[in-house]
Amino acid sequence: MAGNLPSKFIIGSLITLFCLFLLAQIILSSALTLGSKTLPKEKKSKVTAVERIQPIGQVYIGDASVVPQQIVEIDEDISSGQKITTAVCSRCHGSGLMKSPKIGKEKDWTARLKKGKATLYANAINGINKMPARGGKKSLSDGDVKAAVDHMLASLK
């Protein structure tokens, strides 16, 4: 009787596993059938990507009022160096952006001035470190760039 126990146990376990397997199959097939009957059928329409990414709504704030353009008077007495410095160079040199020497701050220019004015001109024309050539304004001539450098140096005195 002791030898029959393991074989009876194995057969009983196999029968139990088979029953659990059948029960799982029945539950799964019922769930799939029930799910397909209760979910609404999706209509597949041809929608373009542009239509799918449209905003949900739009805001209308009325007709925009017309803002008159302000006329800026240009002082003819301003040197070309000052005009270029104001229009191009001051974007970085006005605030010290990217560690550029600030206009009017002698301490920032001291080490650069030791290298000579020719080096300052060359760096301004060709660019150095993060500074683009001609301050990023390709249309400036060498004379324009030198005039801007001279204007910035004049602000140190």
Please report the pLDDT score of residue 98 as a whole number: 81
Over the stretch 33-64, which tens digit does the pLDDT of each residue have? 776 666 666 666 677 777 778 878 777 776 66
Report, in angstroms and rounded to the nearest whole number, the Rg of the chain calculated over CA atoms: 40
Beta bridge partners of 131: 128
**C-alpha span between 125 and 136 (Å, rounded):** 10
**66 pLDDT exceeds 60?**
yes
* Pair of tokens at residue 18: 């088979």
Pick the CATH number of 80-154 from 1.10.760.10, 1.10.287.130, 1.10.3720.10, 2.40.128.260: 1.10.760.10
Determine contact, residues 125/133, Cβ cutoff 8 Å.
yes
Please report the pLDDT score of residue 147 as a whole number: 87
Q: Give me the amino acid identity at 111.
A: A
Over the stretch 109-137, which tens digit does the pLDDT of each residue have? 888 888 888 888 888 888 888 888 888 88
Nearest Cα neighbor of 136 from 98, 79, 107, 109 is 98
**151 pLDDT exceeds 90?**
no
Query: Mean pLDDT over all residues of the chain?
Result: 79
Please report the pLDDT score of residue 16 as a whole number: 93
Please report the pLDDT score of residue 75 as a whole number: 55
